[in-house]
Homo-oligomer: A and B are copies of this chain.
Amino acid sequence: MNDQKILSRLLAEAPTNWGRWGADDEVGALNYLTGEEVKAGLGAVRQHRTFTLGVPIATAAGDHVFPGRWPARHYMVADKAGFEAGHWQTMPGGLEFADDYVSGFAQAGTHCDALGHMWFDDKLWNGYPAGSTNGGMTRAGIEPIAARGIVGRAVLLDMARFRGKPTLGRAETFDHRDLIQCARAQGTEIRPRSILMVRTGWIGALRSGAETIGADYWEPGLTFSLDLVRWFDEMEIPCLVTDTLANETTYEPETGTMLVLHAALMRNLGVVFTEMAWLDDLAADCAADRQYEGFFCASPTRVSKGTGGSANPVFIK
């Protein structure tokens, strides 16, 4: 059934945070990340070891992108050969330089979505009209999120390891109860206002070539239920970080509805999505020392009027 009103009906009873932080709010559940949460994040650090979670972009092989997008690209503008060929002049004194240009989606590589990136019923996060996206994000773009930063305590939930697999399979799903069980098995505590980093192993499978992006692309990930949405709401989750392109399973099996959590969590609750994070190295480390919590810091590129921004999140254990 391809009915464009499914989402409206599906979420009729679901909670929203519209208006909760004022009529002009553009950062949603990041409001939960107060100084207290920053303090909790810093307090979770024990070993002072740093991990970065950004994947390379504009790679020679071509980046992995959601169907309909295209890879970021890297172009050298100046290099030594260009100086030798006379296209560039050595600076007074003797300095030469390499310079380069990059083009790609604002959401290239690991990135944060703006709250207005997706909508239904012609309304974005907080009730802003869909027309406010025309020609650039006038409301709920990435700028306010970039200006604020995403800083707090995060926990890694390694769903792939929890299920005893190197990676979850195509279209494999899980929900908040699985996250809770995974945390318990790991000895990790999901607290209110925790930033959730959920590992499926999927980006690793794409990068190794074990999985590919084709016409029938269907990512593993969280699947929708009203209970799940209520749990995110009650737990006041500010930010969901995963190692998939879209942070949730692509379709709901029963209805064929696409990307329901973008509607239920992002558009309705204001949860900020951090997508395509590289979690494999961190997960291996956590599996070894059993420390799954730490300090998280993500600050996307501040793209004017942008629907998102590339980020290279930092996690410190």
Contacts and interface: CB of A to CB of B under 8 A. Distances in A.
A288 interface: no
A151 B307 contact: no
A221 interface: no
A114 to B, nearest CB: 8
Contact of A103 (B50, B103, B137, B148): B103
Contact of A135 (B79, B263, B305): B79
A133 B80 contact: yes
B305 A93 contact: no
A36 B8 contact: no
Contact of A305 (B74, B122, B132, B258): B74
A146 interface: yes
A15 interface: no
A315 to B, nearest CB: 9
A2 B304 CA distance: 29
Q: How many copies does the complex hold?
A: 4
A302 B74 CA distance: 11
Interface string A296-310: 010111111111111
B74 A304 contact: yes
Contacts of A108: 102
Interface residues on chain A, size class: 35 or more
B101 A103 contact: yes
Contact of A312 (B81, B87, B301): B301
A112 B252 CA distance: 41
Interface string A37-53: 01100100101111010
Interface string A223-263: 00000000000000000000000000001100111111011
A70 B77 CA distance: 12
A27 interface: no
A284 to B, nearest CB: 15
Given A84-B134, A299-B314, A59 B304 contact: yes
Nearest to A49: B35
Contacts of A120: 93-96
Interface in A258-317: 258-260, 262-263, 295, 297, 299-314, 316
Task: Give the residue among A77, A86, A122 with the most B Cβ atoms within 10 A.
Answer: A77
A147 B71 CA distance: 20
Contact of A306 (B69, B93, B102, B259): B102
B297 A58 contact: no
A109 B301 contact: yes
A118 interface: yes
B93 A258 contact: yes
Contacts of A149: 50, 52, 312, 314
